[in-house]
Structure 1
Amino acid sequence: MTKSNMNRRTFINTTAKASLGLAVVPHFNILKSKPEMYDHIIGHGDFKYKVHKSWGDLDRAITPVKNCHEMVMDSQGRLIMVGDDTHNNVLIYDKSGKLLDAWGVRYKGGHGLSLWNDGSDDFLFIADTKGGEIIKTTTDGKELMIIGHPSLYGAYDKKDKFKPTESAIGPNGDIYIADGYGSQYILQFTKDGEFIRKIGEGNGTGQNQFQTAHGVCIDYRGKGEPTLLITSRASNCFKRFTLDGVYIEQIDLPGAFVCRPVIHNDSLYSGVCWSSEIDYDASRRMETHPTKTSPGSGFVTILDDKGKVVSNPGGTKPKYKKGKLQRMVQEQPIFRHCHDVCVDNDENLYVCQWNANKAYPIKLERV
């Protein structure tokens, strides 16, 4: 009998014992026993995946990481990741997990990564939370433009905190910057870096306010005009605005401290950095280090084009009662603080994690 057949038999036998109510090895021990790919499937409904835990692993002595913050796929099908290790802030993989390139030695707070194509070339926008900058670069690392503290453009006072976490590029090239660790605004600039407006009313729980405006993206789905989707992580929700900053709606995700929204085809994906297993009163405090959450938790959440959660890989199955989504939490200890999700053209997912023992990205193979 081959080793793979033995592993599969072990899994089937373990599952059979569980169905009979017999003692079995805890789920997390099963995960540890198969570092490359786990025999079980995670996710729900039409969005189920096999886990390739070691997909992005590299030689730590040569290409180390601290936090793998975000990842995008370029027009060549390459997977580009940003992190905060200044040995190599940017890692570029092919879909097999092979490292193609690495660069970036100054982005101490390398956090957000967005890709924009001007019709012929790909460009990256890096959000450096510690440097307080948004940097536009080529995909091989040449810096083309820097947007610094908003006081330089008349948007903030000099004393106002600015720690950008994300950016998104509008259909006309306008740049939307999420000040998610700073003063909680979305800042809109032209493609040439000229300030247009602030979106929102800063920190708070009001309709036009954000608690940790961690992510922003342009949503082109539907027949109408594109809209902004903005994260309010401590409020466990996304908020939708027009491109010129008018509030439209809120999408509640109870229990899920979501990071940036990622649109692929008709679906919305997001990493859940941690989950709350008890009621969390977001109106009482600003999220910095939440105390009412499960430490080390995290999963991926997937929504359809109507804003309904359809799958939570690594998390509990989404449940609705009288049309209201019930609290979602981590169910399987596969992930630790999911920070971003990248979707490739085969519908596979690549998950970046924060504060996860310097883990490289994990691949989820669509089944």
Structure 2
Amino acid sequence: MSAPKTSRRTFLNTTAKASAGMVLMPHFNINSAKPKLSDDIIGHGDYTYRVHKAWGDLDPNTTPVKNCHEMVMDSQGRLVMVGDHTQNNILIYDKSGKLLDSWGIRYKGGHGLSLWNDGEEDFLFICDTDGAMIKTTLDGRELLLIGHPSEYGAYEKDDTFKPTESAIGPNGDIYIADGYGSQYVLQFTKNGEFKRKIGNGRGTENEQFQTAHGVCIDNRDKTNPTLLITSRASNSFKRFTLDGRYLEEISLPGAFVCRPVIHGQQLYAGVCWSSETDFVEGDMTTHPTRTSPKSGFVTILNEQNKVVSNPGGTAPTYKKGKLERMLQKEPIFKHCHDVCVDEDENLYVCQWNANRTYPVKLERV
């Protein structure tokens, strides 16, 4: 259950780190100048943003990425990103886009990243779709590893386990979304002891998921925190109690949303694809392509869970209280996979399958 005492990470050498601190376009020569900041303004209503596409660009020869999957902000205001390049699974930026640190381990499926502070220290929870959830310190020392759920009596040995996201409850309980596997959310104690499975596997019933890609603690009601779980292929979030009882579904037509991110009273999410056709059961469960001709934007919901802005997408429209289908409008993004929000409400967008690009900053206007 626990990881070995010795760390399995391998740091980049000092020279590589120094070189990686240069901020460069990934497809430019090392001597090329950084391009001018964009004048593009995107979004709707009170939530509009200036696009800084080159904000997080580094030298790919020293600090390469494959997919920039997710990002969180630590208690020091640093931006921590996870990806699936084992030379540097973790990139740590300051808010200007300067690289502060990077480390790589063995996480070929580095996908989900959550941060939890126990009152004294920040910890990272990394989901590797190769079959593990790992708790680490900010410098990569492994503290806890949760492997295949058959080890805890939750699955059969032949059941698929490809975790995509985790969330930490108010009492330290760990919730793991098996989004590319058997479509459950698994609840463990903070020490890694199994408690329960949440949901009823793959399907379209209330308690079932079509790609349980993300999970978060919705603490906007301080007296009654709940779980929000992504059902990406059915274009929705589903709300459960912390002990796994289904409550409601938040429908987002056309939007293949990734994990929900709570900041203040708003809910943010990256939209990996947008679809002009309705979901069909059993189709588009992981990486839909046939029915998603336009892809990628950010969606923002208010405290009533109404969409108020879609940066990069069509304006949200409600008719008789029902949300109309949402699609990409400006081709600024490709497969938005996550959104991180800083204290000034600027957004940092990570993208999947987007030509090995680094995070993009959206400056709040």
With normalisation by structure 1, the TM-score equals 0.89
Structure 1 residue runs of 4 or more that deviate by more than 2 Å after TM superposition:
34-38, 281-286, 291-296
Counterpart residue number, 1:341: 339
C-alpha displacement at 1:280, in angstroms? 1.8
- Give the corresponding residue for 1:37: 37
User: What is the match of residue 179 of structure 2?
Assistant: 180
Structure 1 Cα separation of the partners of residues 191 and 96 of structure 2: 36
Correspondence for 1:293 among 286, 291, 306: 291
Deviation by residue 1:265-313 (Cα, 9 ceiling, x = unmatched) = 0000000001002x22332435133244334610000000111000000
Q: How does 1:171-320 map to 2 (within 5 A)?
A: 171-277=170-276, 279-285=277-283, 287-295=285-293, 297-320=295-318
Alpha-carbon offset, residue 226 of structure 1: 0.3
**Which structure: larger Rg?**
1
Q: Which amino acid in structure 2 is aligned with residue 182 of structure 1?
A: G
Please tell me the residue identity of whatever aligns with 1:324.
K
Distance 1:357 1:74 in 2: 27
Q: What secondary structure sits across from 2:151 in the alignment?
A: helix
Counting only pairs closer than 5 Å after superposition, residues 118-157 of structure 1 correspond to structure 2 as 118-130=118-130, 132-157=131-156
Q: Distance in 2 between the 1:339 and 1:299 partners? A: 9
- Asked if the contact 2:211/2:231 (under 8 Å) is kept, the reply is yes
Cα distance in 1 between the residues matched to 2:186 and 2:353: 28
| Segment drifting more, 237-246 vs 280-289 | 280-289
Q: Find the aligned partners of 2:287 and 2:50 in 1 and give their Cα distance.
A: 31
> In the aligned structure 1, how far is the partner of 2:267 from the partner of 2:54?
25
Cα offsets for 1:331-367 (capped at 9, x unmatched): 0000000000000011000000000000000000001
Cα distance in 2 for partners of 1:178, 1:287 equals 14
Give SS of 2:248's match: strand
Q: 1:58 to 1:295 in 2, by over 3 A?
A: farther
Q: Does residue 68 of structure 1 match 2:62? A: no
Distance, in Å, in 2 between the alignment partners of 1:211 and 1:286 is 9
Contact 1:112 1:165 (C-alpha < 8 Å) held by counterparts: yes
1:81 pairs with 2:118: no
Aligned length: 332
CA deviations on 1:205-249 (whole Å, 9 max, x unpaired) are: 000000000000001112541000000000000000000000010
> Which piece of structure 1 moves more, 281-290 or 268-277?
281-290
What residue ranges of structure 2 are gaps of 5+ in the alignment? 1-33
Partner deviation per Cα, 1:72-121 (whole Å, 9 max, x = no partner): 00000000000000110000000000000000221000000000000010
In structure 1, the gaps of 5 or more residues are 1-33
C-alpha distance in 1, partners of 2:69/2:299?
17
Code of the aligned partner of 1:193: G
What is the one-letter code of the residue matched to 2:122? D
Name the amino acid aligned to 1:101: D
Identity of aligned residues (%): 77
1:56 aligns with 2:56: yes
| Greater per-residue helix proportion | 1
Q: Partner of 1:151: helix, strand, or coil?
A: helix
Shift of 1:35: 5.0
Contact 2:275 2:294 (C-alpha < 8 Å) held by counterparts: no
SS in 2 for 1:201: coil
Give the match for residue 356 of structure 2: 358
RMSD, aligned CA: 1.2
Structure 1 residues 141-187: Cα deviation after superposition (integer angstroms, max 9, x where no partner): 10000000000000000000000000000000000000000000000
Q: Distance in 1 between matches of 2:117 and 2:243?
A: 22
Alpha-carbon spacing, 1:186–1:214, altered in 2? closer, same or farther (3 Å): same
Is 1:111 the equivalent of 2:106?
A: no
Single out whichever of 308-317 and 98-107 deviates more from structure 2: 98-107
